[in-house]
Structures are given as C-alpha cells and as structure tokens.
Structure 1
Amino acid sequence: MPTAHLSFTVRIARSPQDLQAACRVRSESYGHHLPELRTAFAQPDTLDHSPATVVLVCTDKASGEPVGTARVQVNSHGPLLIEGSVQVPEAMRDDARAEITRLAVVPGQTDPLIKLALMKASYLYCLANQVRWMVIGARSPALVRQYRRLGFTSLYDDDRTVPLAHAGNIDHWVLAFDVRAAEREWHAKHHPLYTFMVGTVHPDIRLFEPAMSLGRQEALAA
C-alpha cells in the first residue's frame, strides 16, 4: 500500500490548548457565514468534554496554525445530539452510531485535502470503534453533494430537510453512511476516492497514539 504525506497533520485533541485551537477554527469558519456563531463557537461546549466524544484538530505543518477540525460523538453514553431533532430508522437503532459535527476549515485555506482528510480520520475512528453508522447534518445543497460523493445517503426517502435544535433550528438535510460497508462499496464502484480513503497510508493522520477523550483525561487527572 502506498504512503503519502500531507501538508498538515490530523490528530485527536489531547489538551485544553488543542481544544481551544479547534474552537478557533470553528469560530472563524462558521462565523464567516453566520456572524452570530463567531462568539458562540469560540469556546468549548459540554459535548466537547464528553467521554463519548473526540475532537479532531488539523494543523498546518509550515505555520503550526490550526486549519481544520471535526467532532465525532459516539452514542455509547446516550443519544446523539442530532437525535434530539430526528428519529433514526428502526434498522439503525440497534447499531453503534456516531455523529460528525463542527466540521470546519479556516476560510481561505487552499489545500482541498483538509476536509477530505478530516472525513477519512472520522471514518477510521468509527471503524476502529466498531461504529456501524455515521450521521451528519448538511445545511446546503453543496454540502449535500460533497457527502453524497463520499457515499452518504438521505435518512429520509423524501429527502426532506429538518430543523436541528443543536444547529440554531436551521433546516438541514440529514444523511447517513454505512461504515462497515464503505470499503466494499467504494471498491465495487471504482470510486475515485477509494485510493485516498482506504488505499493509501497517511502517516499524518495520527489517531492511534495513546488515546483518550478530553473528558476521560480530566477524569483521570481529578
């Protein structure tokens, strides 16, 4: 399997400083489109510290500055945030699920692989933790197209939008992704992202260092 290096690293936030770096990206990215979120997203929230949550931080190698982030919440400690607004289909209810939120890239970043690497990191984290389904909310048709390109499908047959309470009651499309079937599906369809997602080793995606969520880290330190 070939190895490829990136212009940035992706890793799990291990410290309050790492989490604050992720919040800077959230604030800049979401605040660029929705100014009212700039202040709200500048600080960690309760879910960031949950033992069911990891926050991914993408750092530019040249500058050392944070340039991207995403958050993965697994339903091991209760319902997903999105499940406060939507009901998952019965076929998914007995499986482990994860929601990807706060996926953000600093405005002006030109490396197109940042968001894709964050999705690969989220996928690998879910795969390693035996999560069957990833669920995500997308607020624009452009985002929906990006997620569909990866293999996400609408949670609803009529493809309707749903106001999400944890996203300011803004209407979102809700999409799901079968983690367990993904590699098989990508391979069978000769998917153009197959090589990046599963056919290449990226040493700069560093998920499997000695790992614990910020919540677990703080609990052990107490």
Structure 2
Amino acid sequence: MANIVFNNTRQPAANPVFSRAGVGAPVAIELLPFTVRPVRTEADLRKAVAVRHAAYARHLPDFARSLEQPEAADYDGDTVILLAESKADGSALGSTRIQTNFRQPLHLETSVDLPLWLATQRLAEVTRLGIVEGRIGRQVKLALIKACFEHCEQSGVDTAVVSGRAPVDRQYEQLLFTDVFASRDPVTLRHVGNLPHRIMYFDIASGQERWEAARHPLLDFFCNTRHPDIDLGRQAPAAWKHGLPRGQQASGAVVVGLAA
C-alpha cells in the first residue's frame, strides 16, 4: 500500500482551506481517474454488486456465489453503499457498504461479543469492500478507505473497528490498527463465509497524530490532500439524527472489513 503512486493531477490549493492539517493550513488538491460517491439508484447498486462479486470470486469463489445478487442489507435504511467509477467509461472499479446499528445489531455481533468499552458505543460496520485488479484497483482501495474515514468523521464516529482475514489483516497493521482482543486470535464470522478474521480498532481522533509520529507514507493522502472526486455529501445517516442507537453512549465506532 505504501508504494502506490497515483497517476493524476496534483496542485496546491489556490487559497488556504480548512483541513485536518489545521485551520487555515494549505492543502494539496489531487484529482483521481475515478470518482467515489454513494449509491443512489438501483442501477448504481447493480454496478456495486457486480464489482463486489467479481472481487470476492477471485479469492473466495464458494462464498462469492452468495453475492451475485444484492443482499437484503443493501436495502437497509441505515446502509450506505459507496461506488467507485471510472471517469473514462463509467465502469465500476470498487465498492463498499456501511451499516449502522441504530435499528439492529451489526452483522459482526452475530459472531463475536465485543468488549464493553466498544459494545456501548455507536457503531457502523463497513463490509463488502471489493475492487478491480491491477494498479488502479490499489488506488481505488485507498480512496475507498479514505472515504470510510471521512464518513466516520462526518457522522461523529470515534473508533474504527475492522475485521480482516489473513493476509488482509496486515494492511490494517500498516494503517496502525490495534487488535481488540489481546490474544489476537481470529474470530469465525458467519456473514463472511464462516472464515476466521482478526478484529482490530483505530481511534479516529488520534489518527493523524499517530500517523505523523510514525511518519506514515499515507499521511498526506489521508490528511493533507483534498480529493474532489471523493464526494460523500455532508449529511449523516438519517437514523443518527434521532439520537444514539439502542441507548448507547456518545462515542462511536466504525467496523471495517477488507475483501480484496
């Protein structure tokens, strides 16, 4: 992930803008060869499902057969699906799904009991991340991960929790995620083909500070660069406007799972 080079246009912003780097700090503007946006139509959803299925089929062909059609969770009122599309021809390059726990438990919670400090928070589970093969796919993966972080920030979420199977879990380590359970033992997840996954977390508020301390190679991409082609809108999920889910406390978490 650290060696990815983007083939796009990068330039300083004409005027200082607000960014994670600090109020008034100048940021770079970087144009991508694709866009990332929420799914809005049935046609959008079909494109997201197609690229999702193809990504899983490369690594988990048996499980991928269950992903040929949209899942019930894709239509949930608390679900947001992100779609990456090529600017050149509009083809789908990647997608991921974000589900909140306002009306129902997360899928992850059917397989594992989260520790109290996490289970009492507002949660969102990000699943079904799938991308096309090749260099452009690696670029799309980073953009979708950044979009998940941005969605987390916009929604007032504080802690990201990820489920990663080997060797994908190493990518989370590179992003400075930490194991939720000290044993680091994998957990079998029912909604991902009963495959073992590590459960890891990331504190959003301290993320930039930790990336800076580690001189992380993706610091500028995540924190100091504005990507106009990543457009999530500014509206939090409608269900979250009415208070915390299931009487939980003020802080929150996002659960992320990489598929490809």
TM-score (norm 1): 0.89
**Selected match of 1:21 from 41, 47, 72:** 47
SS of alignment partner, residue 82 of structure 2: strand
Tell whether the 8 Å contact from 2:100 to 2:125 is kept in structure 1 after alignment: yes
Could you say what the CA RMSD is over the residues aligned between the two structures, in angstroms? 1.8
SS of alignment partner, residue 187 of structure 1: helix
| Structure 1 residue 210, shift from structure 2 partner | 6.8
* In 1: Cα distance, 2:155 partner to 2:119 partner: 17
Residue 127 of structure 1 pairs with residue 157 of structure 2: no
- Counterpart residue type for residue 106 of structure 1: V
- Count of residues paired in the alignment: 212
| Structure 1 residue 107, shift from structure 2 partner | 2.9
Residue 62 of structure 1 pairs with residue 60 of structure 2: no
Tell whether the 8 Å contact from 2:155 to 2:237 is kept in structure 1 after alignment: no
* In 2: Cα distance, 1:43 partner to 1:209 partner: 29
Which position in structure 1 is the counterpart of 2:194?
169
Which position in structure 2 is the counterpart of 1:219?
none
Which position in structure 1 is the counterpart of 2:182?
157
Tell whether the 8 Å contact from 1:10 to 1:56 is kept in structure 2 after alignment: yes
| Structure 1 residue 209, shift from structure 2 partner | 6.5
| Structure 1 residue 64, shift from structure 2 partner | 1.1
Tell whether the 8 Å contact from 1:26 to 1:102 is kept in structure 2 after alignment: yes
- Report which of the two has the higher share of helix: 1
Tell whether the 8 Å contact from 1:96 to 1:133 is kept in structure 2 after alignment: no
Residue 198 of structure 1 pairs with residue 223 of structure 2: yes
* In 2: Cα distance, 1:176 partner to 1:211 partner: 22
Which position in structure 2 is the counterpart of 1:50?
76
* In 1: Cα distance, 2:213 partner to 2:127 partner: 29
For the structure 1 residues 19 and 174, does the alpha-carbon distance in structure 2 shift closer, same or farther, using more than 3 Å as the test? same
TM-score (norm 2): 0.76
Residue 86 of structure 1 pairs with residue 112 of structure 2: yes
**Selected match of 2:205 from 180, 192, 208:** 180
| Structure 1 residue 88, shift from structure 2 partner | 1.4
**Selected match of 2:173 from 136, 139, 148:** 148
Percent of matched pairs sharing the same residue: 37
Tell whether the 8 Å contact from 1:28 to 1:107 is kept in structure 2 after alignment: no
Which position in structure 2 is the counterpart of 1:208?
233
| Structure 1 residue 123, shift from structure 2 partner | 0.6
- Counterpart residue type for residue 149 of structure 2: Y
- Counterpart residue type for residue 7 of structure 1: P
Tell whether the 8 Å contact from 1:98 to 1:133 is kept in structure 2 after alignment: no
| Structure 1 residue 78, shift from structure 2 partner | 2.4
For the structure 1 residues 168 and 147, does the alpha-carbon distance in structure 2 shift closer, same or farther, using more than 3 Å as the test? same
* In 2: Cα distance, 1:212 partner to 1:158 partner: 34
What are the superposed Cα offsets for residues 58-82 of structure 1, whole Å, 9 maximum, x if unpaired?
1111121001011111222222110
| Structure 1 residue 181, shift from structure 2 partner | 2.2
Tell whether the 8 Å contact from 2:93 to 2:137 is kept in structure 1 after alignment: no
- Please identify, of 127-136 and 177-186, the stretch whose mean Cα deviation from structure 2 is larger: 177-186
SS of alignment partner, residue 30 of structure 2: coil
* In 2: Cα distance, 1:28 partner to 1:65 partner: 13
| Structure 1 residue 40, shift from structure 2 partner | 1.6
| Structure 1 residue 135, shift from structure 2 partner | 2.1
* In 2: Cα distance, 1:111 partner to 1:30 partner: 14
- Counterpart residue type for residue 57 of structure 2: G
